[in-house]
Amino acid sequence: MFRVLVADDHVLVRQSIVKAVSSEPDVEVVAEASDGAEALDLAKQHQPDLALLDVAMPEVDGLTVAEQLRKDRPELRIIMLTMHDDELSVERALAIPVDGFISKSAPIVELLEAISAVREGGRYLSDGLPQRTPGTVGAGAGLTARERQVLQLLSEGLRPGEIADRLFVSIKTVKNHLTSVYHKLEVETGAQAVVEAFHRGLVSRN
């Protein structure tokens, strides 16, 4: 079962999202939050696979929540929801990085498509939003959150099999991610990818 946390301070909007998400097979909404502080507490308590976060929430805004969740649980999928399609928010969100950014004016079916995409390790950005990749143009090479995670583990010296065990995925999935990373970074080997990643600031030196 794919576990989801929904955080939005507008009750009717939140209830609508919960109803739609809960209708999907193998998806369960395990917690609902009405503000950012509550979202952080519930995320720790319920350990969801995905957090759907409204950008503008009282107490702690959604982007701040996303930043903290990314630090605490790098593997967590995060989708931001917003009424404000401003470029600054999109750039900040993708720099975190989050896995999806959806306009609240988008139809529910688009939100479900976004959930499906990030569930498979991809990224989803609503049509009409400013199209940006993490960091400066070209620096992030358009890597998804999962690809960055695989690259980070590779830089720490883990082999593909060990990365697969760490992320609880198949070695084939890891190799597919690495193939995509090599293509985006325009390299041919893992060693070259790590060097390029350090050069671009895509991984941290632990």
- In this predicted model, what pLDDT tens digit does every residue of 71-107 receive, in sequence order? 999 999 999 998 766 667 777 777 788 888 888 878 8
pTM exceeding 0.75: no
Q: Span 30-56, mean pLDDT?
A: 96
Residue 16, Cβ density class (10 Å: 0-12 exposed, 13-18 middle, ≥19 buried): middle
2-125 belongs to CATH 3.40.140.10: no
> In the predicted model, what is the mean pLDDT of the chain?
85
Return the CATH number of the domain spanning residue range 145-200: 1.10.10.10
Domain with CATH 1.10.10.10 in the chain: 145-200
pLDDT of residue 54: 94
Instruction: Look at 50-59, 116-125, 150-159 and tell me which has the smallest mean pLDDT.
Output: 116-125
